[in-house]
Structure 1
Amino acid sequence: MAQAKPSTECRPRGRPPIRSDEETKQIVFDAARHAFAVDGYAATSTEGLARSAGISTKTLYRLFPAKAALFEAMCADRLERLLADIHLQADDEVDIETGLRAALLACADLALDPDVVALQRMVLQESAAFPELAANFYKNGISRTVKALAGWLRAQVKKKLIALDDVDEAAGMLIGMIASAPQRAAIYGGLPLLSRKDIERRAKSCAALFLDGCRGTST
């Protein structure tokens, strides 16, 4: 009986496909988020981050010339992805209260995202030694959320559905109303973040308070 001939199928040779810089950055961001949350900013070394991401220190420094630049890029990337999901376009088919609830819910989804809260906790812990961390976090996240909500409110003012003297200030107040207390409870009190149902209930209450107030009728 003739022996079966060995397979002539050839495996591809050469180096494995080269990962793009954008793909490498995402791997570094994942490693950095974990390291910063567990060890803190000061205790996290660039060498350790490079090892965790499976790249050389040289490659890490090529992508991010300093740890501060990596932190800023990491925050901007995460917040950019979350902000991309925030849709605050004015909808003429819904009433002002329903629209405001939806807008507040979208902002709360960002402000109370577990990754964002973890970053905020780390920023607060490290801000005395590294004040630029707080400045970058505010610029890339908090101020942009307020700006998005202010744009939505401005559209309602233009349609004469509400009247506001300072739209930007009102947006900041609303963000504080929907998110500040739950954030503080999680960061300082160690309490769990609100469930989706609780966030929806809070958005409903905030919208009613903002639009109608809570002063009792005098007799």
Structure 2
Amino acid sequence: MMKKAATKTTTERSKTELRTELLLDRLLDAATRVFMEKGFDATSMGAIAKQAHASTETFYRHFPTKEELFERVLLRRTEFLKGELNSVLLSEDVPEKALTAFGELGLSLLLAPQALSLHRILVMEKGRFPHIVASFHSQGPQRVQAALASYLAGQVKRGRLRKTNTHVAARQFFDLVIPEFHFAMELRSTPAPTKAEMRQRVKEAIDCFLHGYGSTG
């Protein structure tokens, strides 16, 4: 009997946790949409609650302040980006294949409207919330580059790349692919590049990268 009771409690707890996760996803989806549309200052917890079809009390129970909610929205986005980009860095794939997948996916994700909107808000609020900027950077770009560096280190061991500081190499590849398009869209409001333009940019970056880091063996 005690065993059955314990199993039932565990099941009930699991159902409760699942309901909470689904609720948090709904709240964060709504918060993301409203922040993107209105920015940080013009967004109210009430507006987000209305968008999520939830009470403001529900929001405050899970997110005591708008600042904490915004940080959670950003970190949730970084978790998604990390998962997607890490998934294409397969150790068995040769550098040209893995870097092509990483570069093209990275461009499509980082130049997406949601990513650009949240980044603009982050830049606008960096003076007020420097800890959020630091958290975003450490949980997002730094970890993505660390994953790329780890992949490159594996390729060095396989003899596919020459020995080098793979953290520097990862940063350099990232810089070859992302900044120009990102800068153009953020500051000059140019249209998003086409898939063909993104493929060409990644190809050029890989040609340059492998010219410097490719194995001579």
TM-score (norm 1): 0.79
SS in 2 for 1:104: helix
Asked whether the 8 Å contact 1:107–1:145 carries over to 2, the reply is no
Asked whether the 8 Å contact 2:100–2:202 carries over to 1, the reply is yes
Partner AA of 2:190 in structure 1: L
Could you tell me which residue of structure 1 aligns to residue 67 of structure 2?
68
Could you tell me which residue of structure 2 aligns to residue 189 of structure 1?
188
Asked whether the 8 Å contact 1:75–1:140 carries over to 2, the reply is no
Once residues 174 and 65 of structure 2 are traced to their aligned partners in structure 1, the CA distance between those partners, rounded to angstroms, is: 32
Could you tell me which residue of structure 2 aligns to residue 150 of structure 1?
149
Structure 2 gap segments, 5+ residues each: 1-15, 213-217
Asked whether the 8 Å contact 1:183–1:193 carries over to 2, the reply is no
Could you tell me which residue of structure 1 aligns to residue 6 of structure 2?
none
Could you tell me which residue of structure 1 aligns to residue 129 of structure 2?
130
* Percent sequence identity over aligned pairs: 30
Please give the residue correspondences for 1:10-49 in structure 2 after superposition, counting only pairs within 5 Å.
20-49=19-48
C-alpha RMSD over aligned residues: 2.1
> Greater shift after overlay, 171-180 or 201-210?
171-180
Asked whether the 8 Å contact 2:26–2:52 carries over to 1, the reply is yes
Once residues 192 and 143 of structure 1 are traced to their aligned partners in structure 2, the CA distance between those partners, rounded to angstroms, is: 27
- 4+ residue runs of structure 1 moved beyond 3 angstroms? none
Could you tell me which residue of structure 2 aligns to residue 120 of structure 1?
119
**Which protein is bigger by CA-based radius of gyration?**
1
Once residues 114 and 164 of structure 1 are traced to their aligned partners in structure 2, the CA distance between those partners, rounded to angstroms, is: 38
Could you tell me which residue of structure 1 aligns to residue 91 of structure 2?
90
Asked whether the 8 Å contact 1:153–1:171 carries over to 2, the reply is yes
Partner AA of 1:101 in structure 2: T
TM-score (norm 2): 0.80
> Greater shift after overlay, 39-48 or 146-155?
39-48
Once residues 36 and 98 of structure 1 are traced to their aligned partners in structure 2, the CA distance between those partners, rounded to angstroms, is: 36
SS in 2 for 1:55: coil
> Greater shift after overlay, 137-146 or 118-127?
137-146
**1:79 deviation in Å?**
2.8
Once residues 194 and 179 of structure 1 are traced to their aligned partners in structure 2, the CA distance between those partners, rounded to angstroms, is: 12
Structure 1 gap segments, 5+ residues each: 1-17, 214-219
**1:164 deviation in Å?**
4.3
**1:67 deviation in Å?**
1.9
Matched, 1:161 2:134: no
**1:179 deviation in Å?**
0.7
Partner AA of 2:202 in structure 1: A
Asked whether the 8 Å contact 2:90–2:98 carries over to 1, the reply is no
